[in-house]
């Protein structure tokens, strides 16, 4: 099964994430400089990795309206489509709060170095976009969640009762 590539498009950096071959899990791939013809590098990656579909995060406002960033994402998608000779389908997916979730993930992991965060935040935003896409493709019964019959305690500590 071909893999799916997710793109978190920005004006400074572009984050990439890649699905596994079973289209279950998203993993960070790379951060590109948005100013150096990234569509050429992405086209090379698509051919090298055997990508069958591309999903690009569409930056809607919280009220659902499209802004300038959405127009830039569409323009980028058109350039990428031309670089790929329109051989790989490109879809847009709602990316609202993906960067916020990525920043929170970096904070939880303890990564405080600004340069390291800048390199990772766009990749992690692309992971969030792609994992949401993969989960939605499988539907609610396909989410990788434990069955209620297999509930395990996460700690050996006895449960505390309220007084």
DSSP lists the bridge partners of residue 92 as 56
CATH number of the domain where residue 35 is located: 3.30.420.140
Residue 162 lies in a domain: no
Each residue's pLDDT tens digit, 16-58: 999 999 988 999 999 999 998 899 999 999 999 999 999 999 8
DSSP state at residue 148:
G
List the 51-58 sheet strands across, edge first.
26-33, 13-19, 3-8, 51-58, 90-94
C-alpha dihedral (97, 6, 122, 124), degrees to nearest 10: 70
- Residue 74: give the domain boundaries: 3-150
Rg, C-alpha atoms of the chain: 18
Q: Which residues pair with 152 in a beta bridge?
A: none
Domain assignment present for 160: no
What's the total number of domains in the chain? Answer: 1
Q: Is 163 part of any domain?
A: no
pLDDT digits (tens, 9 = 90+) for 80-134: 999 999 999 999 988 766 666 666 665 666 666 666 666 777 888 899 899 889 9
In order of 95, 96, 106, 127, the CA distances from 76 in angstroms are 16, 18, 27, 19
């Amino acid at each position: 099964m071909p893999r799916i590539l997710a793109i978190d498009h920005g004006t400074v950096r572009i984050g990439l994430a890649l699905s596994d071959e079973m289209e279950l899990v998203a993993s960070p791939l790379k951060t590109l400089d948005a100013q150096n013809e990234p569509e050429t590098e992405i086209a090379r990656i698509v051919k090298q990795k055997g990508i069958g579909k591309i999903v690009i995060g569409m930056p809607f406002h919280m009220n659902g309206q499209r802004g300038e960033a959405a127009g830039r994402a569409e323009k980028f998608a058109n350039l990428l489509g031309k670089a790929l000779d329109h051989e790989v389908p490109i879809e847009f997916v709602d990316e609202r709060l993906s960067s916020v979730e990525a920043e929170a993930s970096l904070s939880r992991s303890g990564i405080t170095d600004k340069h390291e965060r800048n390199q990772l935040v766009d990749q992690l935003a692309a992971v969030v976009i792609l994992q949401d896409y993969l989960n939605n493709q499988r539907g609610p019964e396909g989410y990788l969640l434990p069955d209620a019959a297999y509930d395990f305690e996460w700690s050996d500590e006895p449960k505390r009762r309220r007084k």
